[in-house]
């Protein structure tokens, strides 16, 4: 069975520093052996009202600025920096991508022509942005379905179907919480989404914000072909996403285990496998065998 694509969601865990972002790319590629990294692109002035921009961060300890808007500005890379990161990913043989949170950011990331662009749960009813992606981007459109009603899900997929883009669309089961307790992970949503939309879209993914990696393996066996987890170099760093992220060894083990389980998810190719034959000859009870005294 083909293993799931493992995506390290760097997001804003780079803390606005290019050197840390590049260290994370190298770590994901060379130590963790995952398949892709994903950043985020926002235009804070476009995403936030003036009141929201000037308000204090809801968790001041994690803020990088005097206001929430200034905090978001500190964590943003320019499109030129994203181009530099994409080039760096190619140098280290790992796929670059980004989620987009507004029209300006969508236009900028489209211009970089990544393999896929992600629409986060918060923006999956932004149909103007979907129109832009459908008309101007030739790669895959990945969409998280966290905090989304079933009616909204149907509207999203119907819109992409009308635009003839469902063959390029991957939808992700997701619970929007940081972190998410196991009882709220709701893995069976993968099965529901597969039964509802699996014949229409390119595939199903799972975006998790839980502890550990056992859940991700189960998500893969339920049909998730893309596994996305937040990634950090240190879960104690300043910022609200670090606590719901995997550190390098956690991501390494996840990528390793996905590949191992993919090999194991198969039927026997013959009744008695070659590896079993010597054991059968040595150990298998035969009713016609004469018992030794």
In a domain, residue 69? The reply is yes
In a domain, residue 267? The reply is yes
Query: Could you give the percent of the chain with pLDDT greater than 70?
Result: 98
In a domain, residue 190? The reply is yes
Q: How many independent structural domains does the chain possess?
A: 1
Question: What is the distance in angstroms between the CA of the first residue and the CA of the last residue of the chain?
Answer: 48
In a domain, residue 173? The reply is yes
Residues 6+ positions from 45 with CB-CB distance below 8 Å: 53, 69
Among 167, 118, 113, 109, smallest CA distance to 143 is for 118
pTM, two decimals, is 0.94
In a domain, residue 291? The reply is no
In a domain, residue 229? The reply is yes
Q: What pLDDT digit, counting tens, does each position of 246-276 carry?
A: 999 999 999 999 999 999 999 999 999 999 9
What CATH number does residue 271 fall under? Answer: 3.20.20.70
Domain of residue 202 covers 5-283
d(CA 44, CA 42): 6
State the residue for tokens 């052996």: 33
The answer to whether the CB of 278 falls within 8 A of the CB of 247 is no
Among 220, 265, 249, smallest CA distance to 5 is for 220
In a domain, residue 167? The reply is yes
Q: What pLDDT digit, counting tens, does each position of 74-113 carry?
A: 999 999 999 999 999 999 999 999 999 999 999 999 999 9
The answer to whether the CB of 82 falls within 8 A of the CB of 108 is yes
The answer to whether the CB of 204 falls within 8 A of the CB of 225 is yes
In a domain, residue 274? The reply is yes
Q: What pLDDT digit, counting tens, does each position of 125-142 carry?
A: 999 999 999 999 999 999
């Amino acid at each position: 069975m083909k293993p799931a694509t493992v995506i390290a969601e760097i997001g804003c865990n780079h803390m606005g520093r290019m050197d840390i972002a590049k260290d994370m790319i190298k770590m994901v590629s060379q130590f963790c052996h995952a398949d892709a990294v994903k950043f985020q692109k926002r235009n804070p002035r476009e995403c936030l009202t003036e009141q929201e921009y000037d308000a204090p961060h809801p968790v001041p300890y994690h803020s990088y600025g005097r206001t929430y808007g200034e905090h978001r500005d500190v964590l943003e890379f320019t499109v030129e920096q994203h181009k530099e990161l994409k080039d760096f990913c190619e140098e280290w043989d790992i796929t670059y991508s980004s989620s987009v949170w507004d029209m300006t950011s969508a236009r900028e990331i489209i211009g970089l022509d990544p393999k896929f662009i992600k629409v986060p749960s918060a923006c999956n009813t932004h149909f103007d942005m979907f129109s832009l992606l459908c008309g101007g981007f030739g790669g895959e459109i990945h969409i998280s379905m966290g905090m989304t009603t079933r009616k909204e899900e149907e509207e999203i997929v119907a819109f992409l179907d009308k635009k003839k883009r469902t063959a390029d669309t991957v939808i992700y089961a997701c619970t929007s919480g940081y972190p998410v307790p196991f009882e709220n992970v709701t893995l069976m949503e993968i099965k529901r989404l597969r039964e509802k939309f699996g014949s229409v879209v390119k595939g199903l993914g799972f975006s998790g914000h839980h502890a550990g990696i056992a859940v991700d393996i189960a998500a893969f066996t339920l049909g998730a072909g893309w596994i996305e987890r937040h990634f950090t170099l240190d879960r104690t760093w300043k910022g609200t996403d670090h606590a719901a992220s995997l550190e390098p060894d956690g991501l390494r083990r996840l990528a390793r285990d996905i590949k191992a389980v993919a090999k194991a998810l198969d039927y026997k190719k013959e009744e008695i496998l070659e590896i079993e034959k010597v054991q059968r000859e040595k150990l298998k009870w035969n009713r016609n065998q004469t018992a030794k005294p």
